[in-house]
DNA sequence: GTCTATAGAGGGATAGAC
DNA sequence: GTCTATCCCTCTATAGAC
């Protein structure tokens, strides 16, 4: 769990924002959920609410960027892998009362035209996901252009399906996206996964 | 243009909310943009801000639900039609400074877990789009199950690609989604479009 | 039906004791 | 580094004159 006050604030903020977005979360809510008083929030984050959101998004973005490779690692057929990504997302969502999986999508929709600072942070996260996913598929033998389009479409497809699923309270949009996207990649072999270099412990 | 005060309020609200979401738009903003004073907003909409959003979403939802059939009407090949949907969306977005195309997606992300009343309205709009799109493709000779999955995936793909495009300020996600989704439908013929029964003028 | 003034609640942020 | 009290602003909504 989060040990320092600073970490517990970021964890609480990410958890609240993935459900309620940016404007829907008050500093008092973050204080209550993290156990820290309001003053501590401003002590650790001079930049206030926007800075907390920035760091929470960056943290969550880094963590969630590892999920697609983690799921795909187990597969040798690209079509089955794509199907698995969406099925896994559907299963997860059913276990979380249809909360968004991660705060980046929830917040990005809200701030893309209003809080330039956060738009840039969310944009950097999306770019990192696309670059990371593309590099991963290339390492497993997929052609670069195909890898980039596939990664972009999968991430966009996931975000859109999450939006429909949360709004309709049904995982059907996630399953439908998998059924539509997967077939055309069926039969395309994936090379053996390259083991991740262990990240340096902070 | 909007003639009555009531209509101009709804038009202004839809335009503001597609850019800034629900919480990001204040009643004063709607008053200023529509030209009506605050008091008139509550005179015409007893239910306050939530009622304005509800009606604005329902109006916009009905209007935007006609767009996909309108684009697809011109095509006889399903693959080309799917490509055209995403290319058209990309072209439109470039002309609007990357605003979301319609307010439903912007608002839905924000209210899915917070304002139950609006979640239901947005959900009804999405359901209407899926049902309408499915019926349209079925009328043009597509198998029912395929039509439903295709429609769901296209709508989800559009919403997700809009989110990425707005956040990254680039239409590439829309073009990539088209490039990924279209090929598998190439060669599938569409039957001649059925002319729409003219809507009764209000 | 139009418009102004204001109530009442809640937001982000700060000061300063401990 | 922790915590409380409080400031000031903005928000939704209402009252009531015109």
Residue-by-residue pLDDT tens, chain A, 202 positions: 557 999 999 999 999 999 999 999 999 999 999 999 999 999 999 999 999 999 999 999 999 999 999 999 999 999 999 999 999 999 999 998 888 888 999 999 999 999 999 999 999 999 999 999 999 999 999 999 999 999 999 999 999 999 999 999 999 999 999 999 999 999 999 999 988 666 555 5
With a CB cutoff of 8 Å and minimum separation 6, the contacts of B121 are: B53, B54, B57, B58
Q: pLDDT tens, B126-146?
A: 999 999 999 999 999 999 999
- Structure tokens belonging to residue B29: 């903003």
Reply yes or no on whether the pLDDT at B2 is more than 60.
no
Assess if residue B21 is contained within a domain.
Answer: yes
| DSSP symbol at A26 | -
Reply yes or no on whether the pLDDT at B200 is more than 60.
no
Residue B195: predicted pLDDT: 80
Which residues get their CB within 7 angstroms of nucleic chain C? A 25-29, 38-39, 42-43, 48-50; B 5, 36-40, 43-44
Question: Residue A16 maps to which CATH number?
Answer: 1.10.10.60
Residue A198: predicted pLDDT: 60
- CB-CB contact of A162 with A100 (8 Å): yes
What average pLDDT does chain A have?
A: 94
Say if residue A74 is in the same domain as residue A161.
yes
Residue B202: predicted pLDDT: 54
Assess if residue A159 is contained within a domain.
Answer: yes
Q: pLDDT tens, B36-94?
A: 999 999 999 999 999 999 999 999 999 999 999 999 999 999 999 999 999 999 999 99
Say if residue B55 is in the same domain as residue B67.
no
CB contacts under 8 A, B 137-156 vs A, are 148-150, 152-153, 155-156
Residue B19: predicted pLDDT: 92
- Domain extent, residue B50, equals 5-59
Assess if residue B194 is contained within a domain.
Answer: no
Give yes or no for CB of B48 within 7 Å of strand D: yes
Please tell me the distance from the alpha carbon of residue A165 to that of residue B113, in angstroms, as a whole number.
12
Chain centre to alpha carbon of residue B38: 28
- Structure tokens belonging to residue B165: 């495009």
B201 CA to chain A: closest CA distance, Å? 31
Reply yes or no on whether the pLDDT at B29 is more than 80.
yes
Q: pLDDT tens, A71-82?
A: 999 999 999 999
Q: Whole-number Å distance, CA A75 to C1' C12?
A: 48
Q: What's chain B's length in residues?
A: 202
Cα angle A170-A172-A174, degrees, rounded to a multiple of 5: 105
Report residue B190's pLDDT band, with 50, 70 and 90 as the boundaries: very high
Assess if residue B197 is contained within a domain.
Answer: no
Q: What's chain A's length in residues?
A: 202
With a CB cutoff of 8 Å and minimum separation 6, the contacts of A111 are: A22, A118, A119, A122
- In chain A, what percentage of residues exceed pLDDT 90? 90
Question: How crowded is residue B75: how many other Cβ atoms within 10 Å of its Cβ?
Answer: 17
Q: Say how many domains are in chain A.
A: 2
Residue B46: predicted pLDDT: 96
Say if residue A119 is in the same domain as residue A165.
yes
Which residue has 């609200």 as its token pair?
A: B13
SS (H, E, C) A154-200: HHHHHHHHHHHHHHHCCCHHHHHHHHHHCHHHCCCECCCCCCCCCCC
Q: Whole-number Å distance, CA A36 to C1' D6?
A: 19
Instruction: State whether residue B123 sits within 8 Å of chain A by CB.
Output: yes
Reply yes or no on whether the pLDDT at B113 is more than 80.
yes
**Window 1-60 of chain A: CB closer than 7 A to strand D:** 5, 36-40, 43-44
Question: Residue A132 maps to which CATH number?
Answer: 1.10.357.10
Say if residue A33 is in the same domain as residue A83.
no
Say if residue A30 is in the same domain as residue A104.
no
User: Residue A25, CA: closest nucleotide via C1'?
Assistant: C11
Q: Whole-number Å distance, CA B33 to C1' C11?
A: 24
Alpha helices (runs of H) in B37-97, residue ranges in sequence order: 38-44, 48-64, 67-72, 78-94
User: Residue A46, CA: closest nucleotide via C1'?
Assistant: C13
Assess if residue B168 is contained within a domain.
Answer: yes
Phi, psi of A77 (to 5 degrees): -115, 130
Nearest to A61 by CA among A157, A131, A147: A131
Say if residue B49 is in the same domain as residue B145.
no
Report residue B199's pLDDT band, with 50, 70 and 90 as the boundaries: low
Domain end position, chosen among B26, B42, B59? B59
- CB-CB contact of B98 with B89 (8 Å): no
A185 CA to chain B: closest CA distance, Å? 10
- CB-CB contact of B153 with A108 (8 Å): no
Residue B201: predicted pLDDT: 58
Assess if residue A181 is contained within a domain.
Answer: yes
- Structure tokens belonging to residue B14: 């839809």
Say if residue A45 is in the same domain as residue A136.
no
Say if residue B69 is in the same domain as residue B144.
yes
Say if residue A141 is in the same domain as residue A181.
yes
Say if residue A107 is in the same domain as residue A149.
yes
- Structure tokens belonging to residue A157: 């497809």
Residue A101: predicted pLDDT: 82
Assess if residue A192 is contained within a domain.
Answer: no
Secondary structure tally for chain B: helices H, strands E: 10, 0
Say if residue B87 is in the same domain as residue B119.
yes
Q: Which residues of A touch B112 (CB under 8 A)?
A: 98, 100, 163, 166-167
B84-113 burial, b at 16+ Cβ within 10 Å, e below that, comes to bbbbbbbeebeeeebbbbbbbbbbbbbbbb
Say if residue B109 is in the same domain as residue B170.
yes
Residue B101: predicted pLDDT: 81
Assess if residue B144 is contained within a domain.
Answer: yes
| DSSP symbol at B185 | G
| DSSP symbol at B194 | P
Give yes or no for CB of B26 within 7 Å of strand D: yes
Residue B135, helix vs strand vs coil: helix
Nearest to B6 by CA among B54, B52, B57: B52
Instruction: State whether residue A128 sits within 8 Å of chain B by CB.
Output: no
């Amino acid at each position: 769990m989060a040990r320092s006050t600073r970490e517990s604030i970021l964890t609480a903020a990410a958890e609240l924002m993935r459900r309620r977005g940016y404007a829907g979360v008050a500093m008092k809510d973050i204080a209550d959920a993290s156990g820290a008083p309001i003053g501590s929030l401003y002590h650790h984050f001079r930049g206030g609410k926007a800075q907390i959101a920035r760091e929470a998004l960056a943290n969550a973005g880094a963590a969630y960027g590892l999920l697609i490779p983690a799921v795909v690692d187990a597969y040798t057929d690209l079509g089955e892998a794509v199907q698995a990504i969406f099925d896994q997302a559907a299963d997860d969502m059913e276990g979380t009362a249809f909360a968004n999986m991660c705060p980046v999508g929830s917040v990005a929709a809200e701030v893309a035209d209003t809080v330039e600072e956060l738009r840039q942070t969310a944009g950097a996260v999306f770019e990192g996901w696309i670059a990371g996913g593309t590099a991963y598929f290339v390492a497993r033998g997929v052609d670069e252009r195909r890898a980039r389009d596939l990664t972009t479409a999968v991430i966009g497809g996931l975000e859109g399906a999450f939006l429909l699923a949360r709004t309709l309270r049904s995982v059907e949009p996630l399953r439908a996206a998998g059924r539509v996207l997967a077939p055309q990649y069926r039969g395309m072999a994936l090379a053996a996964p390259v083991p991740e270099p262990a990240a340096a412990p902070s």
